[in-house]
Structure 1
Amino acid sequence: MGNNFKMVAKTMFGFEEILAKELRNLGAVNVVEGVRMVSFEGDTGFMYKANLCLRTAIKILKPIDSFYVKDETDLYKKIFAMDWSKYLNPEITFAIDATVNSENFTHSLYVSQKTKDAIVDKFRNTVGKRPDVDVKFPDLRINIHIQMNRCNVSLDTSGRSLHQRGYRTATNIAPINEVLAAGLLLLSGWDGQSHFLDPMCGSGTFLTEAAMIACNIPANINRKEFAFEKWHDFDSELYEKIVESCLNKTREFHYKIIGYDKAPSAVQKAKDNAANANLSEYITVERKNFFESEKFTENHLHIVFNPPYGERLNIEMEEFYGNIGDTLKQNYPGTDAWFITSNLEALKFVGLRPSRKIKVFNSHLESRLVKYIMYEGSKKAKYNKQL
């Protein structure tokens, strides 16, 4: 406990509660939900584990200082006063990411520039040599967040956004973000204890994330690197132990994960991405029109999908969403069906009453994750397969 320090996990709107639950399940302490973020405490090993395992985090930040600032001059002075030798030296490259929400600070790029100037001038004054800036591949990424007059300075432990898992090399039109996909699956209650279907799977992000959840595979096991691996105090031996420990907690999955798509190119991309994630044995992708399909099992089925909104494809919205409702009602008894849409008007055409509506955001688009429960009726659909 003595080696614990505070960290902040950034996330998407609506995912704060499930991210907090993920953190507690991993072993974090003092977990506190915020807006698009969750703060927590853990040691260095936990910092590695959080980056490796969290499904709904975009970044993990390690705060190193916090202070009030009046203006740009005050910001420069207080950044200059920090002991940057703990984290940087003239041979290490760095970059600054800044976000501002303040009347006194209105330009994040200017805040980044002033922060950079203060750090560079500090090294010139103390050792006569300055570290260089590398905005693309820095050895150290520093995060500045100014909220009103409060400035928080953090080290970015992740580097590139954690949605970049490393398995997705082929994408379709407007692919869903991996963190968004994982969060929607967790919000839907997916736990790997039934069959799963994405009937409009595109490049297969839901399929891959569903398989990783079902098998308890660390979300970022396929990622090439994290920012903390470039830090001067990176403990590679500890990191390898964390990886091994997490992989020892994977579990077998005894159901089917199936994806449909009408486009042959999408089917191939979904197969390729499943293979890249080493999950081909769990995922089956077929070229099929959902509206001409029937439930493939007599057992419970969990459906999650991302239908076209109109922003992605030119479709006849009323007919398309009406077909979704008709197909679910007629051919998918004993199914929990979830989908996300930003076209709230289109939901009226489904013709079914959703049992849940959850507000989420898909990029900048306000959306709803909706649930339809298809109960077993007197008219049962014909099954293609019986398991």
Structure 2
Amino acid sequence: MLADELSKLGAEKVLPANGGVHFQGNWKTCYQANLGSRIASRILWQIASTTYRNEQDVYDTTLALPWHEWFSSELTVRVNLAAIKCPLRSLDFVTLRIKDAVCDKFRKITSKRPSIDTVHPDIRIHGFLYANEFTLYLDTSGDALFKRGYRKAAGNAPIRENLAAGILSLTGWQPGKPLLDPMCGSGTFLLEAAQIAFNIAPGSQRHFAFEKFKQFDQPLWTKLKKEALGKQHPITQQPIYGSDLYGYALSDARTNLEAAGLLDAVYLKQANVLEITAPTPQGILITNPPYGVRIGETQSLAEFYPKLGDILKSKFSGWTAYILSADTMLPKTIRLKATRRTPLFNGALECRLLEYKMIAGSLKKNNESD
């Protein structure tokens, strides 16, 4: 999904990889990817890739880079390091060596060094160690891209915006087709769908780390944002429906939609998912129900899932339902036959996106195992 999206945004030599997508392009490509990608978590600029044997090799590679040409010593820095099959004993020590090399290079060239800020840094540096390969990246995004800039109320365990956008893409949903989230919480699926419907660039309401780079082209960035704004469609009522059992959750959804200027585009109502009916003869239902991850929830969910299956079968014939769940009980107890299972991660939780095509006779007599 991400590779297709980046290609449409102008990326070249797009290559899907484990956990990400490699691509090439110029600064315009970088700006457009940050502004327009709904699915990416971050856009990282690869600045070094080499072999290593020890911590000194990592330090030397980092020291050789022209950090002073990319950003000012007045800015704050954070170093993140990840590793797979790394032979070095301490990742904390390697992280420290990368930070030391950056600061030493600045001292050598400018007699000044950047400060470290692990909470709200201006510049994020990402390192990755694999067996004998060391790669360094400058983060062009800053805050993760799922932080669109409009969320005012988070609600309980909200799904990340880029995951919601990716799920919408996986379902094949298109603007104009009815969409329902019957357990909408703070409204993430509704917000992402509405932004897609009106062609609103997801990064149009926030700032990015590349704006602090010395290479930053302000006129180009202003032009790209203006062009994106000109491609937006007028806000009109859409067949996008959200409901939730709890009034406070619906209030959060309303707050977020209003902050994004999209409240008038979506239908909202307070309702129990076990008592609703389909708003249209056909459509797509997407929801992220509660998981049995807290003590005391297991029994209530064991009773809830079969009832949810009954409602989908009896009230949503003609619809396709997509349920994201980390609960292994759900596919066993919902008593519906999943037509597709897609592994996804909601944060650290491994989940399944379960697809159910609601046609007559889809209710199972026996429990299904995943």
Q: Is the 8 A contact 2:338 2:354 kept in 1?
A: yes
Match of residue 339, structure 2, among 344, 355, 363: 355
Question: Secondary structure of 1:129's partner?
Answer: coil
CA distance in 2, matches of 1:324, 1:171: 25
Q: Deviations over 1:293-344 (max 9, x none)?
A: 111223x211100111112682522321111111111111221111111112
1:321 aligned to 2:309?
no
Summarize the alignment of residues 1-387 of structure 1 with structure 2, pairs less than 5 Å apart. 18-223=1-206, 225-251=207-233, 255-298=238-281, 300-311=282-293, 314=297, 316-375=300-359
Q: Is the 8 A contact 1:356 1:372 kept in 2?
A: yes
What is the match of residue 4 of structure 1? none
CA distance in 2, matches of 1:76, 1:221: 37
Q: Is the 8 A contact 1:104 1:148 kept in 2?
A: yes
Q: TM-score, normalised by structure 1?
A: 0.88
CA distance in 2, matches of 1:361, 1:219: 21
Q: Is the 8 A contact 1:197 1:257 kept in 2?
A: yes
Q: Is the 8 A contact 1:100 1:106 kept in 2?
A: no
Distance 1:101 1:107, change over 3 A: farther
CA distance in 2, matches of 1:48, 1:88: 17
CA distance in 1, matches of 2:42, 2:228: 19
Question: Secondary structure of 1:59's partner?
Answer: coil
Amino acid at match of 2:154: T
CA distance in 2, matches of 1:297, 1:182: 23
Amino acid at match of 2:232: T
CA distance in 1, matches of 2:276, 2:17: 42
What is the match of residue 368 of structure 2? none
What is the match of residue 382 of structure 1? none
CA distance in 2, matches of 1:146, 1:373: 43
Q: Offset of 1:218 from its aligned partner?
A: 1.2
Give aligned-pair identity as a percent: 38
Question: Secondary structure of 1:152's partner?
Answer: strand
Structure 2 unaligned spans of 5+: 362-370
Distance 1:263 1:254, change over 3 A: closer
Q: Offset of 1:346 from its aligned partner?
A: 2.1
CA distance in 2, matches of 1:108, 1:164: 28
Q: Is the 8 A contact 2:183 2:288 kept in 1?
A: yes
Amino acid at match of 1:226: F
Amino acid at match of 1:305: T
CA distance in 2, matches of 1:270, 1:91: 39
Q: Is the 8 A contact 1:45 1:238 kept in 2?
A: yes
Q: Offset of 1:265 from its aligned partner?
A: 0.3
Distance 1:93 1:317, change over 3 A: closer
Q: Offset of 1:239 from its aligned partner?
A: 0.8
CA distance in 2, matches of 1:260, 1:100: 42
Q: Deviations over 1:212-259 (max 9, x none)?
A: 122222122222x11111112212221111112223333466641111
Q: Is the 8 A contact 2:36 2:203 kept in 1?
A: yes
Q: Offset of 1:136 from its aligned partner?
A: 2.9
What is the match of residue 367 of structure 2? none
Question: Secondary structure of 1:202's partner?
Answer: coil
What is the match of residue 6 of structure 1? none
Q: Is the 8 A contact 1:167 1:276 kept in 2?
A: yes
CA distance in 2, matches of 1:130, 1:351: 61
Structure 1 unaligned spans of 5+: 1-17, 378-387
Question: Secondary structure of 1:285's partner?
Answer: strand
Amino acid at match of 2:138: L
Q: Report which stretch shifted further, 111-120 or 30-39.
A: 111-120
Q: Deviations over 1:55-98 (max 9, x none)?
A: 11000001111111111122112222222221244333322121
CA distance in 1, matches of 2:42, 2:136: 14
Distance 1:109 1:337, change over 3 A: same
Q: TM-score, normalised by structure 2?
A: 0.91
CA distance in 1, matches of 2:279, 2:99: 58
Q: Is the 8 A contact 1:56 1:179 kept in 2?
A: yes
Amino acid at match of 2:41: I
What is the match of residue 366 of structure 2? none
Amino acid at match of 2:125: I
Q: Offset of 1:280 from its aligned partner?
A: 0.9
RMSD: 1.9
CA distance in 1, matches of 2:89, 2:203: 35
Q: Is the 8 A contact 1:322 1:351 kept in 2?
A: yes
